Amino acid sequence: MPSERITITLTERLAKRVRQEARKTKRPVSQVIAGAIKAQEDAEIRERMIQGYKECSEENVRLAEEFFPIVGETLPDD
């Protein structure tokens, strides 16, 4: 994946924390920052997925109740 060099400004506290994490994990500072951003993106996607499932839950229950009576007709007895 192509990369791009950028300049960022962090508070002293955050810069220190990022450098500590980089040393601890033996990764470059840029990877630590990228990993944090990726984790945030993943959390946002997960939250949107959860919300979507919740929004569809009533319809899913309705469909399950509608088709439950015919399950016995379509599944094998064993």
For 16-58, how does the pLDDT look when each residue is reduced to its tens digit (9 = 90+)? 999 999 999 999 999 999 999 999 999 999 999 999 999 999 8
Q: Cα–Cα distance between 68 and 29 in angstroms, integer?
A: 54
Question: What angle, 0 to 180 degrees and rounded to 10, lies between the N-to-C axes of helices 29-74 and 12-25?
Answer: 70
CB within 8 A of 31, min separation 6: which ones?
Answer: 22
Over its C-alpha atoms, the chain yields an Rg (Å, rounded) of 24
How many other CB atoms are found less than 10 A from the CB of residue 44? Answer: 10
Q: Is the pLDDT of residue 72 over 80?
A: no
